[in-house]
Amino acid sequence: MDGNKEMNEREVNKKETDEQEKIERELTPRERMEQIVAELEEEHRKEKELTRPAYWRGLMTGFLICAFLALVMMVSVNTIVKKKSNQPYKVIDTSGSQATIDDIESKLSSLEELVNQYYYYTDKVDMNVIADQIYRAYMSGLKDKYAAYYTKDEMTQRMESVNGSYCGIGAVVSQNDNKEVIVIQPYENSPAEQAGLKQGDIILSIDGTSLAGMTLDEAVSLVKGEEGSSAVFKVKREENEFEVDIVRKQVAVPTVTSEMKEGNVGYVYISSFELTTVDQFTQAVDKLIEDGAKGIVFDLRNNGGGALDAVIDMLDYLLPEGLLMYVEDKYDNRQNYTSDKECVNQEIPMAVLINDKSASASEVFTGALQDYERAKIFGTKSYGKGVVQNLIPLSDGSGIKMTIAEYFTPKGRNFDGNGIDPDETVELPTEEEAYDERGVLKEGYDTQLNRAVEYIKEQTTE
């Protein structure tokens, strides 16, 4: 059966071949050529149909491959950058020991290198600002709540405060709700008072420079100037505007006010202890005694302290010869401050008013009078600042302040953190009717002052 099948297939193939040869023999050369051309064209058409989809498929495949490679490269680069930025930048490790200045400088150099390399806003970096912040941080790191670093401008203002004087027009100014510079009070006999400035006047401009939009510090810097220099102040008073020429001069800031209370009891309020306070204080006390004061009340409430030299001179004026106070530094070195024989009449009774804002030099003043039993203390416990700070100027105009010693009263009491207890505690009234709309005690409602005045009267009638 298989043999017959193979014979039949050979006969069919032979028959097809014979018919093809017969056809080819029957074609002329021209016809044969045309047939070949037609076959070639058909093959080309079929090849083109097959190639066109392959071309587009190839193009798309190539595009996707390129996109994929680009994505891989981006991810790789991003990963490299992240790995680089997340790797700890090598610096000196001082976690297990005390850092030295060299260690600090080395780490600062590393920080600067990183900022220069990566920080986006490098063009906005102000190295002077950074330097001042570093110095502030150094002083803050001392963990001394009274330590501070002052820039050149801040040091100038600080020295003016300590000295109690400055060169200007002699007026207290502030800003109202509209940010206008308003005169709160011209000092007595000051250039401002002599020029006719009054409480409530608004300073609009100085020498043509408008104060609108300025901070209070910026405005005050224009108000101040060299001694003898003049400036044209444009002032608004109610609805009227006018200009006045004011010549600047050295002005002593008033820190002492005084008056005679009922029953010839002298009253002296000391707002702070500055170098100019001493003369103001002695003049006030002398004037009260001259006017017949039977006793004197010294009000130190809300007085945060000031210059040690000032309070020593004031105590020397009030107390007889002896130890006024002493200080001890970290080396146990002791410095005594004493008074001489000359002082006011020791028969005149005295009283002192203090509260929780009476601090430092105020406590030195109070503690000495209390130890000598020269005055009776009324009010509430004082703040408790019994440490000495030194203000040290630096050659570039800046400066620092830090604690250098502790205060002790004549009897050896250190009141740092403890305060000074009054001999008689007297609280202020709590009812609303005792205060005006500004929160200030109305006349006659000051229970602490009333008690001190009463005490003086008691001493003079015995």
Catalytic residue among 258, 360, 362, 382: 360
Catalytic residue among 201, 299, 316, 371: 371
Find the Cα–Cα–Cα–Cα dihedral 45, 51, 53, 55, rounded to 10°: -140
What pTM was estimated for this model as a whole?
Answer: 0.73
Residue 27's contacts (CB-CB under 8 Å, 6 or more residues apart) are 35
Residue 24 belongs to what H/E stretch? helix 2-26
| Multiple choice CATH, 256-461, 1.20.120.1200, 3.40.50.80, 3.40.640.10, 3.90.226.10 | 3.90.226.10
pLDDT of residue 57: 56
Say which CATH superfamily domain 165-252 falls into: PDZ domain (2.30.42.10)
Which residues does residue 148 pair with via DSSP β-bridges, in sequence order? 401
Residue 204's contacts (CB-CB under 8 Å, 6 or more residues apart) are 180, 210, 211, 212, 234, 235, 236, 241
pLDDT in tens, the chain (462 residues): 554 544 555 554 555 555 555 444 555 555 555 665 566 566 656 655 555 555 555 555 555 445 444 554 554 445 444 445 567 777 778 777 888 989 999 999 999 999 999 999 999 999 999 999 999 999 999 999 999 999 998 998 888 877 887 899 999 898 888 889 999 889 988 999 999 999 999 999 999 999 998 888 889 889 988 899 999 999 999 899 999 999 999 988 899 999 999 999 999 999 999 999 999 999 999 999 999 999 999 999 999 999 999 999 999 999 999 999 999 999 999 999 999 988 998 899 999 999 999 999 999 999 999 999 999 999 999 999 999 999 999 999 999 999 999 999 999 999 999 999 999 999 999 998 999 887 888 989 999 999 999 999 999 875
Residue 358 bears catalytic tag: no
Residue 371 bears catalytic tag: yes
Residue 165 bears catalytic tag: no
Catalytic residue among 385, 398, 401, 446: 385
pLDDT of residue 26: 53
Domains of the chain, by residue range, sit at 44-78, 165-252, 256-461
Residue 266 belongs to what H/E stretch? strand 265-270
